[in-house]
Amino acid sequence: MTGPTPPAVVPGDPRYEDLIRRGHNPRFANRPDEIHPVRSTEEVVRVVADAVRTGRRIAVRSGGHCGEDFVDNPAVRVLIDMSRMSLVDFDHRRNAFVVEAGATMEQVYRTLYFGWGVTVPGGVCLSVGAGGHFAGGGFGALSRSLGTVAEYIEAVEVVVAGADGEVRAVVATRDPRDPQHDLWWAHTGAGSGSFGVVTRYWLRSAAATGDDPARSLPAPPPAIQCDLVMWDWPDLASQDTFVRFMANHGNWSERNSDPGSSATALHSVLMIPHRSAGKIVLDVQTGTNEPGAEKLADDFVAALAEGVAEPSLRLRSVRTWWQGMLATTVSKDPIPQDAQSRAKVKSGYLRKRFTDEQLATVHAHLTTADYAHPEAYLCLVSYGGTANAVAPAATSLAQRDSVLKVLFGVNWTQPDEDATHLSWVREFYRDVYRETGGVPVPGEVSDGAYINYADADLADPAWNTSGVRWHELYHKENYARLQQVKARWDPGDVFRHELSVTCPTTTGESR
């Protein structure tokens, strides 16, 4: 492709300082040589080609929610900013909705819903960018009933760099007869930053027929019942009581997360902050299109309270799906929206509830007087249901039989407190998984970790003593195939970060 490289934003330009601060985790900062707020796929091709020619490392930012330094890394000299590529529309040529990579989830949901009455089952943090969210599989409040975003990706456009140095845009589709099908598959759960620059996705239900946009994606519930439930920490503070409460929650999740279960109409987030926060908070959303929504939520809360204290507060409202989405967004964002707030998040999948021994460890870390920080937490997010009705190899999202996702996290503001907070969350995670080398090794209880909550500690032998490599935790048996995709589409390792897929000839243990 010919033509000039689009004008770059460089140090000294008034826009530069704002663009380098678009990330949501100021633990990491970088000052690249150039930032390119691109407007089209053609511009991305030119920027990548110039970076390849000059041997400079590239990173891409869409929403800016990466939990590690994959974008804000000192080795990155060229930053591609996708925020100007935010189109969401229906593409009649492909009979699918097109979503550019820089669109935020709020733009995606708003346009799909108010334009055609449809949605996708993505995350509830509305400022997350579609580019990375979709590539990691994407899950949210509707995933138990509708699956993950991965199942709705019809095609993806990716700017790739071949072995011959040629940089070009490729459209890869769901159709297994497509010669580029492997590139599509890699973008249905393996995460971003390994194969190229995603510029556009096309979304369509696999079972959709015809050309009516309103029938090309699922409709959200016409309304949702929102339950806010709280327990006072002192009422659950004893170890035995806390373990019983947590076991109740896990047991309900095991019983009610099969594909096809009517209970998949219910989505919940159980936020358990350090005892110093004072409250344990349960957010529940239940689609009102499912008969018995009130009883389903009531029975769920009763199951959690069985044998322990009743909630100290319970509020119920019925809202439109859109208003319910807006009301619950902030509390479910693991990377805080405050630009000054620093964060560390670690993740795991649960096939079954934590063991009583693990729950005793959770209790110890969340009640310790030596670290009384109210923004340190464990969060359990409901999962399973329709998300588990897909074979692990059908998409690159390998975890397809879990009932909960779990987040270990902490938010803080002062840079001089980094070591304190990082030590706490790392030790918390390590101790919960002490029987499997400090990480959630796939087995009877756990099933690895979620790549969209990237955690470089999994590649660090100081914190992962399991003998199971980081990529087995994230990608399991799918990793060998991902390496073949990498070898075909990015043999020069142009697109890389600490947890990116490597070519088969490299170990991927360090970079």
Q: Is residue 375 part of a domain?
A: yes
Q: What are the phi and psi torsion angles at 331 (to 5°)?
A: -65, -15
pLDDT of residue 328: 63
141 and 34 together in one domain? yes
Indicate which CATH number applies to the domain containing 129.
3.30.465.10
Low pLDDT (below 70) residues in the chain: 1-6, 328-339, 506-511
328 and 447 together in one domain? yes
pLDDT of residue 329: 46
Indicate which CATH number applies to the domain containing 361.
3.40.462.20
172 and 230 together in one domain? no
Q: Is residue 204 part of a domain?
A: yes
CA neighbours closer than 13 Å in the CB half-sphere of residue 17: 2
pLDDT of residue 505: 79
Q: Is residue 437 part of a domain?
A: yes
Q: Is residue 488 part of a domain?
A: no
Q: Is residue 377 part of a domain?
A: yes
> From CA 282, how far away is CA 230, in angstroms rounded?
6
Q: Which two tokens stand for residue 303?
A: 């199951």
Total H helices, total E strands in the chain: 13, 15
276 and 403 together in one domain? yes
pLDDT of residue 282: 97
Question: Could you give the residue ranges of the DSSP H alpha helices within 415-511?
Answer: 418-432, 470-475, 479-489
Strand order, beta sheet including 197-203: 88-91, 96-100, 197-203, 153-161, 167-173
> Considering only CA atoms, which of 220, 223, 230 is closest in space to residue 318?
223
> Considering only CA atoms, which of 409, 127, 121, 396 is closest in space to residue 285?
121
pLDDT of residue 330: 42
Domain count, the chain: 2
> Considering only CA atoms, which of 22, 1, 24, 20 is closest in space to residue 9?
20
Q: How far apart, in Å, are the Cα atoms of 47 and each of 5, 84, 122, 429?
A: 6, 15, 30, 40
Last residue of a domain, one of 179, 195, 220: 220
307 and 446 together in one domain? yes
pLDDT of residue 1: 44
470 and 404 together in one domain? yes
pLDDT digits (tens, 9 = 90+) for 84-142: 999 999 999 999 999 999 999 999 999 999 999 999 999 999 999 999 999 999 999 99
> Considering only CA atoms, which of 75, 57, 64 is closest in space to residue 20?
64
Q: Is residue 487 part of a domain?
A: no
252 and 214 together in one domain? no
Segments forming the whole domain that contains residue 48: 1-220
- For residue 246, what are the contacts with CB-CB under 8 A and spacing of at least 6? 353, 354, 359, 362
229 and 216 together in one domain? no
352 and 429 together in one domain? yes
> From CA 404, how far away is CA 265, in angstroms rounded?
15
> From CA 363, how far away is CA 354, in angstroms rounded?
12
Q: Which two tokens stand for residue 91?
A: 């593409």
Please give the span between the terminal C-alpha atoms of the chain, in angstroms, as a whole number.
31
> From CA 138, how far away is CA 198, in angstroms rounded?
15
DSSP 331-394: GG-SS-SSTT-EEEEEEEEESSPPPHHHHHHHHHHHH-SS---TTEEEEEEE--GGGGSS-TTT
Strands 313-320 and 197-203: unpaired
pLDDT of residue 335: 53
183 and 261 together in one domain? no
Q: Is residue 262 part of a domain?
A: yes
Q: What's the pTM value of the predicted model, to 2 decimals?
A: 0.95
pLDDT digits (tens, 9 = 90+) for 301-354: 999 999 999 999 999 999 999 998 887 644 445 555 555 789 999 999 999 999
